[in-house]
Chain A
Amino acid sequence: MPEIRVTPLGAGQDVGRSCILVSIAGKNVMLDCGMHMGFSDDRRFPDFSYITRSGRLTDFLDCVIISHFHLDHCGALPYFSEMVGYDGPIYMTQPTQAICPILLEDYRKIAVDKKGEANFFTSQMIKDCMKKVVAVHLHQTVQVDDELEIKAYYAGHVLGAAMFQIKVGSESVVYTGDYNMTPDRHLGAAWIDKCRPNLLITESTYATTIRDSKRCRERDFLKKVHETVERGGKVLIPVFALGRAQELCILLETFWERMDLKAPIYFSTGLTEKANHYYKLFIPWTNQKIRKTFVQRNMFEFKHVKAFDRAFADSPGPMVVFATPGMLHAGQSLQIFRKWAGNEKNMVIMPGYCVQGTVGHKILSGQRKLEMEGRQVLEVKMQVEYMSFSAHADAKGIMQLVGQAEPENVLLVHGEAKKMEFLKQKIEQEFRVSCYMPANGETVTLPTSPSIPVGISLGLLKRELAQGLLPDSKKPRLLHGTLIMKDSNFRLVSSEQALKELGLAEHQLRFTCRVHLHDTRKEQETAVRVYSHLKSVLKDHCVQHLPDGSVTVESILIQAAAHSEDPGTKVLLVSWTYQDEELGSYLTSLLKKGLPQAS
């Protein structure tokens, strides 16, 4: 029985290190290869030993697909390809391919900072991994091999994020990665066509939430930054190199312009140029407004946002600084935080999730006295704000996408079990489809009935139409024809055409039957009696008595012969073709009743 099997190695009832194995029509695909930043040992990566057990990795896996550049979706990729030994193709969109190394380098820095070089993949490994990537365009069908094809759809969420349709023959799976169904300041909304996949694997981060408008959060953000700057305070926004930071930069830039504010905005480690470069390069991936205004003004060429120098942190007066890394793990953002933490006029805004084991996590949970190296205690007097700007579809958005794609089944990943449970019920009720939510390591198996497309010959259709019945889409009709497979295609044609195309000679199938008659006369006379009898009974048929003594009725042939043992009995040999089956059966039964007595 054909089936689709899905096993999450990560993102099954949790968020972090997305890695989902899909087996479809004998092809094995890995969807995302993420890492969990909350661990600093091997647990940060998915447990790939479950794949390596199936033999050589490159032989087992047909391809790896990466949905977007966030580390919980691509962070384990260099480890997987350069250290575990996967040597096959990796697919992602062009912006993801371009931005991935920056984020991976960003995290490599944190890892090396904490544990030393030996603990992690090297820069060379990141580059070698990126060289294995095949970039895909939106809506372009990419043939992975003769049977497996993939197609990317726009997912919003971050620059270059994509949903992927994986198709083998008539079976297909759609994996959403992370997506956003509402456009934001720099990206558009996710979109997919009515592709009716056998299975839709969707993220469910905000499975139970109807998120407030992003505008409200943006207003709140601007208000807080503005208030802090107005009272002479400094604002620190810890960010990862690319993504959310650019969205917030656009927001501040526009606000600064409108309000004519003078306080400087800085962006650390040369990221402004870098971000500018990538957003310019991938302008088609941004939202409509940015694309439209791009000719007059590139939104990413900031007037107010300047490159940060370490010395600026000590400058007096208000300022806004975007610094890496995003969770106050280490490095520059942590250094600035330490400097500014003691002043209640200052503010730190955490624009995203922070894992346990980071200073970001501590201050978000309300801790205000932090122990630093050497038993020093840092008192946090600055204001701490959390504003999630992550762009995920909320419950409404997820339902909208399910409605758009019309899948046969839905499988939830990248979310919490309790929330998934709620959404699962909702999906099952509303769309009448099965919904699954496997935990990590659990396999969901879906039997499929692959439809095999069959072409039909025009001649056969015309012949059917000639019978006078007009086709009606609501009424199935029985159609006789010959199914032929030629050049890996199935076609239904008339038997004549089939014979012609396949170069075959026609065979005649005849049914035969023996009927015993009590008749002492000679065989020829018996034959004449049969002829006369049939002639009188079958008035509408052509009954002939042939010179060789046999009698024919249409294609039916009757011959009389003597019985080998009983001279008083004659044997009638009756044979007829498949086409005259009905008449043949009738004749046999007629003859079995015997001949009328001669008058």
Chain B
Amino acid sequence: MDPECSRLLPALCAVLADPGQPVADDTCLEKLLDWFTAVTEAGSSLLLLQENPCLVELLFHVLKSQDLSSRILSFSLRLAGIFAAQENCFQYLQGELLPMLFGEVGPLGGAAWTAPAVRSGWIQGLRTLAQHPSALRFLAACGAVDTIFSLQGDPSLFVASAAGQLLVHILDLAMRGPAEGHRSPQACDWPACAQKIVGHIEDSLCSTAVPQVTQALSVLTTAFGHCHGLWTQGLWVRLSPLVARLLEKDPVPASHSLVDLLLSVARSAPSSYRGLWETLAQTLSHLSPTQAGPLALGILKLQDCPQALRTQAFGILLQPLACVLEAAAQAPGPPGLLEGAAGNSMTVDTLLSSKSACVGLLCCALAHLGLLQPLPQRPSPWPQAPLLGAAVTILRLCSGSAAPTSDVGSRLCAILVGCGRVQRAALDFLGALSQGTGPQELVTQVFSVLLEYLVSPESSSMSWMPVGHFQRLLPRKNEVRCSLSPCIPSPSYTPGRGRGQAGQLTPGPAAPLFPLQVLKKAFQATLRWLLSSPKTPGCCDLDPHTQLFLRELLPVLQKRLCSPCWEVRDSGLEFLTQMTRHWGGQAGFRQALLASEVPELTKQLLRDPESYVRASAVTATGQLSSWGLCATPAGHECPGAQQESLLVELLHILSTDSEGFPRRAVMQVFTEWLRDGHADVAEDAEQFVAGALQAASRDLDWEVRAQGLELALVFLEQLLGQRGSHCPYAVALPETAPPGVLAQALQVLCRVQLFEFAFRALFDCDRPVAQKSCDLLLFLRAKAAPCGSPQEAGDSPNVASVEATLQRWQAGEQGQPLGYLEPGAVVALLRSVDLEGLRDTLAESSDHVEKSPQSLLQDMLAAVGVLGENEADCY
């Protein structure tokens, strides 16, 4: 322990023991325990106590004191546990202190026990302490195990959960003893402590009270999840009949916990546990469809599992979708999801029993199948086509565009129409299915339903758009509904009216549920489908269907960019950016995009009242421009003049926008442009970099300045060659640049005033900026190694004055500029500044001083008596 901390400790213990001195901040005691844990992990606890007797005195004092706060008592119990985790220290404390703290004479029997914090401290203390056989004997002797049993049903979730975990820990400790290797799997030979715990679990499993069954199952789940000794097999042999007996009850008690247990056993080493597969199969058939879903998913995720069980599990997940498909079928169609099993009456009953049951079951099934889809162990063959059909059908039932004729179908339609939760889940699932292929007819239906969702969730109209191929695929009912809706403003409508008006879309009692979220999911799913679209063989362009879809999609996107909701405009722009990034070079995409008003609208959104939208518009415009797709009045690909105006516009945003997000986005676009050799940037990169850095250096947002350094680094690399490592905080040893190149490069860097920017950033008040700048300068110094001797430039008056300025900057006075620097002076400066030292200082987080144990102790001591001055209220 640090001598200074050791010096402060007695005073602190005195404060803690004084009931009249409440502790200043509720986090202090936690941090103190963290520190003691670290100290005891690094050295001997016994020595610590011997060198700091105040600690044991504190524990004794706590026991005697009647009016100590529950927080201090809880702290003391946990502290004692930390010390007693080492066996010799345990022996040292065992005589009097530990029985008094953890035995019946301690807080356990007193009024303090009513405080959950004390019960929690008691459990945590024992949990930390129970690390050796002596602790086990102590627990048995003081009757702690019985108390832990009762705490499993504690009204505090935290206490109850910790009690269960402690039981498992004790069981494991008892079984891990010296005889571990020879321990018989036969439970009857186990140590008394383990027998007691297992007996308790048995009793609980047989109980008619569901909470007790739940507790037992949770303990077992933790045991099989965390303990891997041979004894767990014996445990399973002994308890599995009781677990199986739970399945005979109707309804199955604590089904959620039962599923957790079975999966925990199956995940650990399933082949070691006799009868496990049978129990799993039995459970699948006994649980309701909703309860069985998570178990089915868990089984299908297992690496090694009998095929019959997998088939049964997959059937459970498919059932709800099969029912939907069957219910919605107009006429006998292609083979369904589950031949012969589609009409499982239990699933149909659940689906139709109530809206919440139906929504819950469908959402779970969709989510589970979505999780399964990308896994290598997913069932094979994977019924991609029927699943696609089911997802499309569900989405149509939700949107009201499907009109099933069967009774079940009509009922489902009535339940699902307008249901946001199912819509979101189905769109997520549909997105996940984009990873597989499907028959063209179905893919067309997917695009059609996605288009329907992109158009419709916001109670808007399609009447202003010509009806296209994909929209013609929509059922007639939908077209009628759309034609009755009011017209939306024309595409030339000024986008965005800001947040002040956005509230008009807030759903009232009759409004659709979360349309924005549904729309966002529709965008995400569409993007996934588009990006996974196959390319025409032998051609680098899009396939005709995607091409056709794009043509219908862009007017919809155009409309979304005019939405009065900032969230919609923003999602639209993000969608456009992704699409352009992926397809910017494809002729079909370029053609469709340029024929639309999307580029022009995107540019208009640079002046959106919402800063998030402006930022997304900057990114989208930057991306469009990179591919030569920015807006032109004639709809042609842009000539240089247009491009120039965009650069000016972005620079204007960088210098004037009052919000950080758009400015950050501009710097990112500039960096990307420079990195990718954007034609117009490459024309005069020097001027471009100088302009960007000048604007960034004045910026109040630390991320803009940090991004400025990123841009500077790209520029440096282009001039001097790549860095060895891509890790931004690791400075590799780059090869030095040839002297001729270097001299020229330094001239350029001086002209763009990169050094002024970097040195200013080196002393930035925000650490990440300073750190980035330090890395950049170190890189530059390594590259500049061969350039001149230190004496050559170092003695010039120019360098001396610059050094003086830098010192003032370091002291926080950054008013004075550096002025123009000669390359020689720069090299000299790079050598004279202790960059390594600075890097080390910056690498230590800026709060390492305030977070140090010494600082913590000082704070706790200093807070004595001045508590009222800084009372927790809010922040």
Q: Does the CB pair A70–B612 fall under 8 Å?
A: no
Question: Does A175 lie at the interface of the complex (its beta carbon under 8 Å from any beta carbon of B)?
Answer: no
Partner of B874, one of A55, A134, A390: A390
Pick from B594-602, B764-772, B818-826 the stretch touching chain A.
B764-772
Q: Does the CB pair B503–A94 fall under 8 Å?
A: yes
Most buried by B among A14, A16, A98, A439: A439
Pick from A351-359, A521-529, A564-572 the stretch touching chain B.
A351-359
Question: Does A38 lie at the interface of the complex (its beta carbon under 8 Å from any beta carbon of B)?
Answer: yes
Most buried by B among A114, A269, A441: A441
Q: Does the CB pair B846–A140 fall under 8 Å?
A: no
Which of B478-524 touch A at CB < 8 Å? Answer: 498-500, 502-503, 506-511, 513-514, 516-517, 520
Q: Does the CB pair A143–B863 fall under 8 Å?
A: no
Q: Does the CB pair B507–A143 fall under 8 Å?
A: yes
Produce 1/0 per residue, A362-383, CB < 8 A to B: 1011110001111000000000
Given A55-B256, A373-B846, verify A50-B520 contact (CB < 8 Å).
no
Given A87-B424, A356-B28, A366-B866, verify A113-B871 contact (CB < 8 Å).
no
Q: Does the CB pair A367–B858 fall under 8 Å?
A: yes
Q: Does the CB pair A178–B874 fall under 8 Å?
A: yes
Pick from B48-56, B313-321, B360-368, B644-652 the stretch touching chain A.
B360-368
Pick from B100-108, B232-240, B653-661 the stretch touching chain A.
B653-661
How many angstroms between the C-alpha atoms of A327 and B872 in the bound complex?
Answer: 13
Produce 1/0 per residue, A240-251, CB < 8 A to B: 100000000000
Q: Does the CB pair B851–A357 fall under 8 Å?
A: yes
A364: min CB distance to chain B, Å: 4
A363: min CB distance to chain B, Å: 10
Contacts of A586 in B (CB 8 A): none
Q: Does the CB pair B27–A355 fall under 8 Å?
A: yes
How many angstroms between the C-alpha atoms of A94 and B498 in the bound complex?
Answer: 11
B281: min CB distance to chain A, Å: 22
Pick from A332-340, A395-403, A530-538 the stretch touching chain B.
A332-340
Given A113-B766, A355-B27, verify A326-B116 contact (CB < 8 Å).
no
Q: Does the CB pair B25–A270 fall under 8 Å?
A: no
Question: Does A89 lie at the interface of the complex (its beta carbon under 8 Å from any beta carbon of B)?
Answer: yes
Which of B676-703 touch A at CB < 8 Å? Answer: 700-703
B contact residues, range: 35 or more
Produce 1/0 per residue, B767-796, CB < 8 A to A: 110000000000000000000000000000
Question: Does A194 lie at the interface of the complex (its beta carbon under 8 Å from any beta carbon of B)?
Answer: no
Partner of A314, one of B513, B812, B851, B871: B812
How many angstroms between the C-alpha atoms of A87 and B370 in the bound complex?
Answer: 15
A contact residues, range: 35 or more
Question: Does A71 lie at the interface of the complex (its beta carbon under 8 Å from any beta carbon of B)?
Answer: yes
Contacts of A331 in B (CB 8 A): 702, 765-766
Q: Does the CB pair A365–B156 fall under 8 Å?
A: no
How many angstroms between the C-alpha atoms of A392 and B858 in the bound complex?
Answer: 30
Task: Name the CB-closest residue of B to A308.
Answer: B700
How many angstroms between the C-alpha atoms of A101 and B812 in the bound complex?
Answer: 30
Task: Name the CB-closest residue of A to B257.
Answer: A53
Partner of B513, one of A43, A145, A327, A332: A145
Question: Does A499 lie at the interface of the complex (its beta carbon under 8 Å from any beta carbon of B)?
Answer: no
Contacts of A326 in B (CB 8 A): 875
A384: min CB distance to chain B, Å: 10
Question: Does A39 lie at the interface of the complex (its beta carbon under 8 Å from any beta carbon of B)?
Answer: yes
Pick from B5-13, B157-165, B341-349, B733-741 the stretch touching chain A.
B157-165
Produce 1/0 per residue, A125-156, CB < 8 A to B: 00100111011110011111110010000000
Q: Does the CB pair A112–B30 fall under 8 Å?
A: no
Task: Name the CB-closest residue of A to B517.
Answer: A132
Q: Does the CB pair B516–A332 fall under 8 Å?
A: no
How many angstroms between the C-alpha atoms of A277 and B502 in the bound complex?
Answer: 16
Which of B803-820 touch A at CB < 8 Å? Answer: 812-815
B287: min CB distance to chain A, Å: 13
Q: Does the CB pair B509–A149 fall under 8 Å?
A: yes
Question: Does B836 lie at the interface of the complex (its beta carbon under 8 Å from any beta carbon of A)?
Answer: no
How many angstroms between the C-alpha atoms of A136 and B505 in the bound complex?
Answer: 10
Given A146-B355, A440-B158, verify A313-B658 contact (CB < 8 Å).
no
Q: Does the CB pair B859–A365 fall under 8 Å?
A: yes
Given A89-B514, A335-B765, verify A352-B875 contact (CB < 8 Å).
yes
Question: Does A223 lie at the interface of the complex (its beta carbon under 8 Å from any beta carbon of B)?
Answer: no
Question: Does B294 lie at the interface of the complex (its beta carbon under 8 Å from any beta carbon of A)?
Answer: yes
How many angstroms between the C-alpha atoms of A305 and B859 in the bound complex?
Answer: 35
Question: Does A292 lie at the interface of the complex (its beta carbon under 8 Å from any beta carbon of B)?
Answer: no
Q: Does the CB pair A131–B570 fall under 8 Å?
A: yes
B730: min CB distance to chain A, Å: 13
Which 5 residue pairs are nearest across A and B when measured between Cβ atoms? A441-B158, A38-B27, A365-B862, A335-B765, A356-B25
**Interface, chain B (partner A; CB < 8 A):** 24-28, 30-31, 70, 115-117, 120, 155-159, 161, 256, 294, 355-356, 360, 363-364, 367, 421, 424, 498-500, 502-503, 506-511, 513-514, 516-517, 520, 567, 570-571, 612, 658-661, 664, 700-703, 729, 765-768, 812-815, 841, 844-851, 855-856, 858-860, 862-863, 866, 869-875
A-B contact pairs, 5 of them (CB 8 A): A14-B26, A114-B846, A338-B812, A356-B859, A366-B862
Question: Given A73-B874, A113-B767, A134-B506, list of 18 further CB < 8 A pairs?
Answer: A15-B874, A70-B875, A71-B875, A94-B499, A98-B499, A105-B660, A136-B506, A145-B513, A354-B870, A357-B31, A361-B24, A361-B870, A362-B858, A373-B849, A386-B869, A388-B873, A416-B872, A441-B157
